[in-house]
């Protein structure tokens, strides 16, 4: 069996109606876009993978042409090519992908929904939406332009019994600033896990957090050795290639540390994640996936969430098939223009800060604007603050403030 071609298909499947506008303004088309890969062989078999964002340059694909998919066992670099190659290997042998990765230890894999930071009322909507889909966990990155305590209080009001929240603190804080926030979060039954609460190099800080915080402490942006040093209650292998995921699984088992995978993609990606987690003994944490961030996908099969878990497909290969009609539909979807809008930051003391923002720059650019160029208190995750987007409504007020933001953020006190 030899690889003869790799098709790349950039798709824009639609987000759900309740958060489509927010997601597009927050992170632009880069979040909505995915690339589906179809790896073709001389035997007529096709293997599927997918990645976040636009397709890579053709040179990146060239090294795989002419190779045997079995050359890429434990592929060390790219999740999407590993998925496609294991799909091909499984189809060639008539076996589900998990059989090529190890001994199965579970038939159902726990998963978590993902979203971005939004105002409290919108976070409550996200929690209800996730619960209706069957999820029992919701992950989001905390953001200094929202108040995480207010967000959690809103989620708590609507969360069904057993529903939990996983917070990502962006690995950019210190113990003195973050610990009081974690103490506040402990008051809420929904608050459960905190990822990267402080800078990963602060090992002493992590030891203190593990000792003093009632919340589970997870590390993502650190090497697997943090499990050996017992710095965390759990580990995240984010966007990991097959080779890296296998190494993480081995260290996790040796240190008896639970871990999770985090992968961006739809049903193809979720199928591969399920095959991996099926054989990793310590992969017991709820794996973060974006499979239901979009309301439509490009596979014939769906993978419904049942009480917080997905069933491992039975194969052969990944056990999902590409629907070419759906693929063409989402390839030709128009690129939405968000139009003119302002970011509106509302402080409890009455200060309003407005600034322009290009979603194509990414969320890190938005945070940078707020941290370095805006008036107000030092940015922190529990400041009395809320932020939303103000669309151009043709009002005189919008036009006036739009002009004021031409050279940067405009602060308007009460």
**16 φ, ψ to 5°?**
-65, 150
Average pLDDT over residues 158-175: 96
Predicted pLDDT of residue 39: 98
Instruction: For residues 407 and 355, give the distance between their C-alpha atoms in angstroms, rounded to a whole number.
Output: 9
Express each pLDDT in 65-81 by its tens digit.
Answer: 999 999 999 999 999 99
Which distant-in-sequence residues (6+ apart) come within 8 Å of 259 by Cβ? 227, 234, 235, 236, 237, 248, 249, 252, 280, 282, 283, 284, 285
Q: What is the DSSP letter of 99?
A: G
Q: What is the DSSP letter of 98?
A: G
Predicted pLDDT of residue 370: 79
Residue 289 above 90 pLDDT?
no
Average pLDDT over residues 281-293: 96
Predicted pLDDT of residue 365: 79
Residue 369 above 90 pLDDT?
no
Q: Can you name the residues that pair with 113 across neighbouring β-strands?
A: 138
Predicted pLDDT of residue 364: 77
Predicted pLDDT of residue 336: 85
Cβ distance 243 to 219 under 8 Å? no
Task: Select from 3.30.70.3040, 3.20.20.120, 1.10.10.10, 3.40.50.2020 the CATH code of 108-311.
Answer: 3.20.20.120
**Which part of the chain has CATH 3.20.20.120?**
108-311
Express each pLDDT in 173-225 by its tens digit.
Answer: 999 999 999 999 999 999 999 999 999 999 999 999 999 999 999 999 999 99
Among 101, 59, 122, 134, residue whose Cα is nearest residue 272: 101
Instruction: For residues 285 and 166, give the distance between their C-alpha atoms in angstroms, rounded to a whole number.
Output: 11
Buried b (16+ CB within 10 A) or exposed e, 144-154: bbbbbbbbbbb
Superfamily of domain 3-100: Enolase-like, N-terminal domain (3.30.390.10)
Instruction: For residues 155 and 89, give the distance between their C-alpha atoms in angstroms, rounded to a whole number.
Output: 43
Average pLDDT over residues 11-34: 93
More confident residue, 104 or 368: 104
Q: What is the DSSP letter of 97?
A: G
Q: Count CA atoms closer than 13 A to 407's CA, side-chain side.
A: 1
Instruction: For residues 358 and 368, give the distance between their C-alpha atoms in angstroms, rounded to a whole number.
Output: 13
Q: What is the mean pLDDT of the chain?
A: 95
Express each pLDDT in 392-405 by its tens digit.
Answer: 999 999 999 999 99
Cβ distance 182 to 149 under 8 Å? no
Predicted pLDDT of residue 337: 84
Which distant-in-sequence residues (6+ apart) come within 8 Å of 102 by Cβ? 279, 280
More confident residue, 58 or 34: 34
Whether omega for the bond prior to residue 316 falls within 30 degrees of 0, making it cis, is yes
pLDDT grade for 338, boundaries at 50, 70 and 90: confident
Both structure tokens of 332: 């030709």
Angle at 299 between CA 71 and CA 297, to 5 degrees: 120
Buried b (16+ CB within 10 A) or exposed e, 101-121: beeeebeebbbbbbbbbbbbe
Among 188, 182, 190, residue whose Cα is nearest residue 208: 182
Instruction: For residues 220 and 142, give the distance between their C-alpha atoms in angstroms, rounded to a whole number.
Output: 15
Q: Write out the H or E segment, with its range, that includes residue 402.
A: helix 396-404
Express each pLDDT in 310-336 by its tens digit.
Answer: 999 998 999 999 999 999 999 999 988
Predicted pLDDT of residue 349: 92
**Which part of the chain has CATH 3.30.390.10?**
3-100
Instruction: For residues 97 and 82, give the distance between their C-alpha atoms in angstroms, rounded to a whole number.
Output: 11
Cβ distance 304 to 274 under 8 Å? no
State the Cα torsion 146-147-151-154 to the nearest 10°: -120
Predicted pLDDT of residue 376: 86
Predicted pLDDT of residue 63: 95
Residue 11 above 90 pLDDT?
yes
Residue 58 above 90 pLDDT?
no
**Mean pLDDT lowest for which of 25-29, 220-224, 249-253?**
25-29
Residue 381 above 80 pLDDT?
yes
Residue 102 above 80 pLDDT?
yes
Map tokens 């978590």 to a residue: 112
Q: Can you name the residues that pair with 10 across neighbouring β-strands?
A: 35
| pLDDT > 90: percent of the chain | 88
pTM above 0.75, yes or no: yes
Instruction: For residues 278 and 205, give the distance between their C-alpha atoms in angstroms, rounded to a whole number.
Output: 33
Express each pLDDT in 80-92 by its tens digit.
Answer: 999 999 999 999 9
């Amino acid at each position: 069996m030899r690889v003869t071609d790799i098709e790349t298909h950039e798709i824009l499947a639609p987000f759900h109606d309740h958060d489509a506008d927010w997601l597009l303004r927050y992170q632009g088309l880069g979040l909505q876009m995915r690339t589906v890969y179809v790896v073709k062989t001389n035997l007529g078999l096709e293997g599927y993978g997918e990645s976040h964002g636009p397709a890579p340059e053709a040179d990146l694909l060239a090294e795989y042409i002419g190779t045997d998919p079995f050359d890429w066992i434990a592929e060390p670099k790219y999740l999407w090519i590993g998925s496609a190659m294991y799909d091909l290997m499984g189809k060639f042998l008539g076996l589900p992908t998990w059989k090529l990765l190890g001994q199965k230890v579970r038939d159902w894999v726990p998963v978590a929904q993902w979203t971005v930071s939004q105002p409290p009322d919108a976070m409550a909507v996200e929690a209800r939406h996730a619960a209706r889909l069957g999820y029992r966990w919701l992950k989001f990155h905390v953001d200094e332009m929202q108040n995480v305590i207010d967000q959690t209080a809103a989620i708590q009001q609507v969360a069904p019994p057993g529903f939990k929240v996983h917070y990502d603190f962006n690995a950019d804080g210190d113990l003195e600033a973050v610990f009081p926030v974690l103490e506040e979060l402990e008051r809420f039954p929904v608050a459960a896990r905190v990822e990267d609460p402080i800078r990963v190099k602060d090992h002493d800080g992590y030891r203190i957090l593990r000792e003093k915080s009632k919340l589970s402490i997870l590390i993502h942006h650190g090497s697997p050795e943090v499990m050996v040093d017992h710095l965390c209650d759990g580990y995240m292998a984010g966007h990991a290639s097959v080779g890296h995921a296998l190494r993480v699984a081995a260290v996790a088992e040796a240190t008896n540390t639970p871990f999770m995978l985090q992968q961006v993609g739809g049903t193809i990606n979720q199928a591969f994640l399920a095959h991996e987690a099926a054989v990793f003994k310590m992969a017991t944490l709820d794996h973060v996936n974006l499979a239901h961030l979009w309301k439509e996908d490009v596979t014939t099969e769906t993978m419904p969430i049942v009480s917080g878990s997905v069933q491992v497909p039975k194969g052969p290969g990944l056990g999902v098939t590409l629907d070419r009609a759906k693929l063409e539909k989402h390839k030709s979807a128009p690129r939405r223009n968000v139009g003119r809008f302002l970011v509106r930051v509302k402080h409890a003391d009455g200060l309003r800060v407005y600034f322009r923002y290009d979603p194509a720059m990414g969320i890190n650019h938005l945070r940078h604007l707020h941290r370095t160029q805006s008036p107000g208190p030092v940015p922190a995750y529990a400041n009395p603050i809320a932020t939303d987007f103000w669309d151009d409504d043709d009002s005189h007020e919008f036009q006036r403030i739009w002009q004021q933001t031409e050279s940067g953020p405009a602060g308007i006190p009460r």
